[in-house]
Amino acid sequence: MPQERLIRKYSNRRLYDTVGSRHVTLDDLRQLIVSGEKIKVIDDKSGEDLTRPVLLQIITEQEQFGSPVLGAELLEMIIRFYGGPMQALLSRYLEQAFTTMLRQQEAMHLEIAKALQTPLAPLTELARKNVEMWDQMQAATRDAFSGRSAEGSKTANHGDAKTKNNQQNNRRKGK
C-alpha cells in the first residue's frame, strides 16, 4: 500500500504539502490523487483528520464543472441508503465496483499499448476479459441484492463461463 502524502491545513484555510514543501490548491490535490498518490489532510492546530471533507470538497468542485459523474437521480438514490440497513452494503458494493472498473481500465490501457505494437491480436483477448469482468460484476450485483454468498456466485460464474466457452466453440465449428 502506498504511503500517504501528508497535507496540513492551516487556520487561514491554506493547504500545505509537507512532501513537496509548498502550498497547494484543491486542484493540486486532485492531480496528486489522479496520478495515484494517497493523501492525508490534517488540521495543523487540532491534529484532526480532514481527509474525507477535503475529498468531498474536491468532488463537489468537479461536479460543478463539465459533465457530472453523480447525476441528481444517483445522488437521491445514495441519500436513500443513509441510515438504512443496506448502507454498509452499498459502501462495500461501490468500493468493489470502482476497484473492478479501475482494474479494467488499467487492463484496457495495457491492451491498447500492446495493440499499437501488434495490431488486432490483443483485441480478442481484451473483449473476452471485458465480458468476463462484466459478468462477474453483474453476478456480484445479483448476489448483493439476493443475499447469495460470494462462494455461490463464483461457482455459478465458473459454470456460466464454461457454458459460454462451449457455445462459442460450437459456433466457431459451425454446430
pTM of the model: 0.59
pLDDT confidence of residue 122: 64
pLDDT above 60 (res 160):
no
Do 4 and 38 contact (CB within 8 A), yes or no? yes
The cell numbers describing 131, all together, are 465480458
Over the stretch 133-156, which tens digit does the pLDDT of each residue have?
Answer: 988 988 888 887 776 654 544 555
Over the stretch 43-87, which tens digit does the pLDDT of each residue have?
Answer: 999 999 999 999 999 999 999 887 889 988 999 999 999 998 899
More confident residue, 147 or 38: 38
pLDDT band at 3 (very low <50, low <70, confident <90, very high): confident
